[in-house]
Structure 1
Amino acid sequence: MPGQRQRAGGAGEKLEPVVADAVARAGFELEELAVQQAGRKQLVKVVVDATGDGENSVGLDEIADVSRAVSNALDASDDVFSGAYTLEVTSPGLDRPLTKPRHWRRARLRKVAVKQADTKFLARVGDAADDGVELLVDGQLRRVAYADVEHAVIEVEFSEPPAAEIAKLTHEEEGSR
Structure 2
Amino acid sequence: MQESQIAALIEPILSAHGLELDRLDVTPIGKRSVLRVTVDGDGPDGNGPLLDDIAQASSAISEALDVSPAVGKAPYTLEVSTRGVSKPLTEPKHFRRNAGRLVKLWLGDDQVTGRIRSVTDEAVTIEVDGAEREVPLAEIDKAVVQVEMNRSFEDEEEN
TM over 0.5: yes
Q: Which residue of structure 1 lines up, in the alignment, with residue 113 of structure 2?
A: 122
- Counterpart position of 2:46: 54
Cα distance in 2 between the residues matched to 1:135 and 1:161: 19
Say yes or no: does 1:44 pair with 2:30.
no
- Assess, with a 3 A threshold, how the Cα gap between structure 1 residues 62 and 161 changes in structure 2: closer, same or farther: closer
- Residue 5 of structure 1 is matched in structure 2 by none
How many Å apart are 1:14 and its aligned residue? 3.2
Is this contact kept in 2: 1:95–1:154, CA < 8 A?
yes
Runs of 4+ displaced beyond 4 Å: none
Corresponding residue for residue 89 of structure 2: 98
Q: How do 1:9-28 and structure 2 match up within 5 A?
A: 11-28=2-19
* Pair 1:159–1:105, CA change in 2 (3 A): same
Q: Which residue, out of 66, 81, 97, partners 2:71?
A: 81
Task: Give the 3-state SS of the residue equivalent to 2:115 in structure 1.
Answer: strand
* Contact preservation (8 Å) 2:3, 2:24: yes
TM-score w.r.t. length of structure 2? 0.83
Assess if the C-alpha contact under 8 Å between 1:63 and 1:89 holds in 2. Answer: yes
Give the drift of 1:35: 0.4
Which structure 1 residue ranges, 5 or more long, are not aligned?
1-9, 171-177
Partners of 2:40 and 2:48 within 8 A in 1: no
TM-score (norm. length: structure 1): 0.76
Deviation at 1:22, TM superposition (A): 1.9
2:60 equivalent in structure 1: 69
**Matched residue of 2:9: which SS?**
helix
> Aligned pair count?
155
**Residue identity (%):** 33
Letter in 1 for 2:63: N
Checking the alignment, whether the CA contact within 8 Å between 1:26 and 1:66 is kept in structure 2 is yes
CA distance in 2, matches of 1:18, 1:67: 13
For residues 44 and 114 of structure 1, the distance between their equivalents in structure 2, rounded to whole angstroms, comes to 31
Determine the structure 2 residue equivalent to 1:134. 125
In structure 2, stretches of 5+ residues that fail to align are none
